[in-house]
Amino acid sequence: MATQTKENNSRPELIKEITRLRRQVAELRSIAKERESAEKALKESEEQYRSVFENTGTATIIIEDDMSISMVNAKFEALTGYSKEEIQGRMKWTDFVVEEDVERMKVYHVKRREDSRSAPTEYECRVFSRFGEVKDMFLRIDMIADSRSSVASFMDITAFKQTEAALIESERKLSKLMGNLPGMAYRCRNDKHRTMKFVSAGCKWLTGYPPYELIDNSSRTFIDLVHPDDRAHVEEQLVEIQAAGRPFQMEYRIVTASGHVKWVWEEGVGIVSNDGELREVEGFISDITEHKIEEQQLRKENIKLKSFIKERYKFGDIIGKNSGMQDVYERVSKAAATNANVIIYGESGTGKDLVAKEIHRMGDHPDKPFVPVNCSAIPENLFESEFFGYKKGAFTGAVKDKPGYFDLANGGTLFLDELGEIGLAAQVKLLRVIEGGGYTPVGGNEVRYANVRIVAATNRDLKEDVKQGRMREDFFYRIHIIPITLPPLRERKDDLPLLIEHFLGLYSEKGNVPLINGKILGQLYNYDWPGNVRELQNVLQRFITLKTLDFMTSSVAEAEAQEGRSVLAEPIEDAQSLESLGEAVAHFEKSVILKRLEANHWHKSNTAEQLGINRKTLFRKMKHYSLI
């Protein structure tokens, strides 16, 4: 009985224990379910956070306590040029900050973790990419709750800062201009008298009348000041200002209080009232009398210059009166009047460097540097350091900063001789600078910009180089803006007398110019001059020194002379009877023309072609020598 009673008592306890265990199991299952749900929610939240982080629209990073970067998005990769693998856990935030801003960023970082209110959450700084490009950034940094990590977002404001700087500079210039340039700001009614409501103090200097005499037509109207011959023109211009806010510009003459006539330039805009009518005009009037006189004088000089150039035989250091050279002179004049890039074509020795110097000399800034560069002499591995310069320590031997060609030519002209020898890789780098992208010295971070005019020269056919893939098409079109082609000496032999006289006078001692007889002149005329003017210069210099002609391919000239295939002038028996080299050359030239005319039965076109001159030049020479 006792045993049965004990079993009866333990049974309820067992049931109770089982019930308790079942309840615990149910609770554990509930907890496990809740944990699973929480983990799922956490995972979804983390995925959502990562999605937001990646697609936030701005470059974003997470910065740890030691300033290392633990997380970046694609926008930050694009901003810096580095990949996530290179940044996350490997680089610090300050690795991207320009040196001038690093210390400030470190101070903010520490203070933010001591007290989030002690450091700003929004500010500006500058960062640079792995390519050395510096950008202005608007930065927002917030601490992540319950951690010592922070999240930073970047907004590129480089364009805004540039615009802001340009605006500030523009306002500064405008303020300086208004303060220093004499002139009159005004506001007037849109009536036939131009009744002034306001004029600035410059009125007295411009017109000779104090402001109070012009306001509200107290003593006279402004239209009365306009020169009688220009008044109708001014009134017509004002009538045309009908559209709301339409600006206008015009120039005319006024008669001052002292009776002097001044040319003025007026810029203004119509002011529309609430009812839509143009009731008032405001603007600025400045004195352009001196500029107008200079303009009129320049026009006269330009007309004279154009007329003079047609007959010029010397243009700076360039010598020649051949029609082809006259075309060159005109092209040089037009090129010098602009800032466009120039490409000079011509065989070796035709004087491409002289043309480049003349373009620079006649340009707007002849006092600025002219920097010649022989492109064929620059190894490809030294291209950047030579053109863009380098910083101290950039490589072994760089003991100090060295400026590049663009630095040296800033404000002036960079002459790229033998342009066709530049490789494709170098063309890309030059193209970036020419298109305004700037350049960075080797070993430096700062992007520099140079105001340089490019004048290039080559003896190659660049269009053919483009077809053959030796030159980039975009680079060609940036260089080939104003082409100038120099004719070879064999195509302008009528310039030989000028060139011979010039070089003999240049190299002869104390003006003792040696005499040249008909035979020597014949050899000079019948030689093809593959080295062009440079070869002629060398031949004549040797002639003065050695008293003999020494051609690069002398056998050609000698063979032609011996076989009689060329027309040689009769030797001048009494050379002393001629007063100068010019007379000797004229005697020879007349003889050559006469013999060639006779050989061609006076057929002028054939004769001109065989002499290497055009028919117009032949007729002029025949008339000069009384052959017609």
- Report pLDDT for 456: 96
Residue 270's DSSP bridge partners are 281
- Asked whether the predicted pLDDT for residue 563 surpasses 80, the reply is no
Residue 244 pLDDT grade (very low, low, confident, very high; cuts 50, 70, 90): very low
Mean pLDDT of 62-78: 91
Residue 47 has pLDDT above 80, yes or no: no
Separation between Cα atoms, residue 57 and residue 75, nearest integer Å? 7
Checking if the pLDDT of 61 tops 70, the result is yes
Highest mean pLDDT: which range of 111-115, 314-318, 503-507, 612-616: 111-115
Does 143 score more than 80 pLDDT?
A: yes
What average pLDDT does the segment 519-523 reach?
Answer: 80
Tell me the two tokens of residue 377: 């002499």
Q: What are 339-349's pLDDT values in tens digits? A: 899 999 999 99
Which residue in the block uniquely carries the two structure tokens 């490809």? 380
Each residue's pLDDT tens digit, 469-513: 999 999 999 999 999 999 999 998 888 888 888 888 787 766 566
Higher model confidence: residue 96 or residue 615? 96
Rounded Cα gap, residues 462 and 194, in angstroms: 60
* Better-predicted residue by pLDDT, 352 or 602: 352
Most confident of 161-170, 304-313, 477-486: 477-486
Coil, strand, or helix at residue 90? Answer: coil
* Mean pLDDT, residues 209-229: 88
Q: What is the mean pLDDT of residues 289-312?
A: 66
pLDDT at 5: 53
Q: What is the widest separation between alpha-carbon atoms in the chain? A: 172
Question: What is the average per-residue pLDDT within 105-126?
Answer: 91
Is residue 615's pLDDT more than 50? Answer: yes
Q: Mean pLDDT throughout 535-562? A: 68
Note whether 479 and 341 are within 8 A (CB): yes
* Alpha-carbon gap, residue 320 to 317, rounded angstroms: 10
Question: Mutual orientation of helices 581-599 and 604-611 as an angle, nearest 10°?
Answer: 130
> Per-residue pLDDT averaged across 316-338, rounded?
86
Asked whether residue 101 carries a pLDDT value surpassing 90, the answer given is yes
As a whole number, the mean pLDDT across the chain is 82
Average pLDDT for 392-401 = 86
| Of 70-84, 136-150, 215-229, 538-552, minimum mean pLDDT range | 538-552
- Over the stretch 248-283, which tens digit does the pLDDT of each residue have? 888 999 999 999 999 999 988 888 777 777 788 888
